[in-house]
Amino acid sequence: MAAPSVAKVDGKHMGKQSTFHPGAAPYGNFINYYTFNPPIRRLQFIPTDVLDRILDAKVANHDAVATVLDVGCNTGDLTIALYEHLLKGGVPEVVKQTSEHACEETSSEKPPEEGHQVDADDSGKIKPDQCDCVNNSHETKCEGKVSGSKQLFMLACDIDQVLIQRATEANPYPDNIMFQAIDIMDSTSSNKVFANFLDAHHASHIFDLTTCFSITMWIHLHQGDSGLLTFLEQVSKRTRYLIIEPQPWKCYKSAVRRVKKLGQPMQWQSLSELQIREDVVEQIVKHLVTECNMEIVQRLGETDWERQLLFLRNSMNTV
């Protein structure tokens, strides 16, 4: 997933095509990310009643609009799959669903590590559409209205404008999913985008659910320890619930090795400059709980890349 950052080289964002190599994406903005990490690898851990949990308290207060923020959405495959997953799995009754489809997980092997380029046609095992919720043509459509008057709207953001353009062009739910190129670390501009989105859907001042899939490392590498902690604080203030997938320290070392192997310049600070290191996942969880008013609702599981998926609730923003 492409992570937000404000670091620049020669006055330009480092994601520019002039210095971009597919295997050394400086923000995690891999151009074929979902061919080697298909959406199902995360969705299989997300409970089918997440939307019910989110909406229970709101419906009791006559607010039936659910809003989701997906940070670091890349080309939007997981965003769209999550949208369909929340509607089809989280609420038993879906208003207008034109077809059902499913695909089998064709590989029992551990997937290649992030950044490793895979030719899906040649491998015959890892496909971009290995998901029971979404496929390339998006033939299955779900409307954002569920269980009577309940509605779901999603805002997905990424720093990479090219990826956002691809996501927007392939978006099968433009009325319910909005893709936006923003830098979430720029609180002034991002807060304006978030406020406009929430106002447009007559929602509260915060999101009901925020998802951060494999973006913490990229923010940490570009923004340092303080930037990582600031990101966690900003995200927590803007949401009632949070699903986060922090990368462990071994992913940092793999990212460095990958860039060196490709002969690309190191476009982030040295790992030696970071104080939060081997226990980075534990430090992230600790900061969320002790400094951000978050409570762990459930440890959802661990992906094939040994990354934990955590489901948390903001104790200060329960309704």
Alpha-carbon distance of 301 to 116, in angstroms, equals 23
Per DSSP bridges, beta strands 8-9 and 12-13 are antiparallel
Residue 60 φ/ψ, nearest 5 degrees = -60, -25
CB atoms within 10 A of CB 35: 22
Alpha-carbon distance of 199 to 120, in angstroms, equals 41
> pTM higher than 0.85, yes or no?
no
Neighbour-count burial of 119, counting CB atoms closer than 10 A to its CB (0-12 exposed, 13-18 middle, 19+ buried): exposed
Q: What is the pLDDT of residue 274?
A: 95
Q: What is the pLDDT of residue 118?
A: 40
3-state secondary structure the chain: CCCCCCCEECCEECCCCCCCCHHHCCCCCCCCHHHHCCCHHHHCCCCCCHHHHHHHHHHHCCCCEEEEEEECCCCCHHHHHHHHHHHHHHCCCECCECCCCCCCCCCCCCCCCCCCCCCHHHHCCCCCCCCCCCCCCCCCCECCEECCCEEEEEEEEECCHHHHHHHHHCCCCCCCEEEEECCCCCHHHHHHHHHHHHHHCCCCCCEEEEEEECCHHHHHHHHHHHHHHHHHHHHHHCEEEEEEECCCHHHHHHHHHHHHHCCCCCCCCCHHHCCCCCCHHHHHHHHHHHHCCEEEEEEEEECCCCCEEEEEEECCCCC
Structure tokens at 18: 């002039």
CA 191, chain centre distance (Å): 18
- The identity of residue 95, as a single letter, is V
Is the sign of the CA dihedral 156, 159, 165, 166 positive or negative?
A: negative
Q: What angle do CA 28, 114, 212 make, to 5 degrees?
A: 55
Q: What is the pLDDT of residue 142?
A: 58
Q: Are 27 and 2 in contact (CB under 8 A)?
A: yes
Spatial CB neighbours of 260, under 8 Å, sequence gap ≥ 6: 266
Distances (CA, A) of 231 to 83, 183, 220, 277: 24, 11, 9, 17
Alpha-carbon distance of 19 to 232, in angstroms, equals 29
Q: Are 3 and 28 in contact (CB under 8 A)?
A: yes
Alpha-carbon distance of 52 to 55, in angstroms, equals 5
- Per-position pLDDT tens, the chain of length 319: 555 443 333 333 333 344 555 555 666 656 777 787 899 999 999 987 888 878 776 666 656 789 999 999 999 999 999 999 988 754 333 333 323 333 333 333 444 455 444 433 333 333 333 333 333 334 445 555 544 456 899 999 999 999 999 999 999 999 999 999 999 999 999 999 999 999 999 888 999 999 999 999 999 999 999 999 999 999 999 999 999 999 999 999 988 888 888 777 777 778 889 999 999 999 999 999 999 999 999 999 998 888 999 999 999 876 5
Per DSSP bridges, beta strands 150-158 and 65-71 are parallel
Q: What is the pLDDT of residue 251?
A: 92
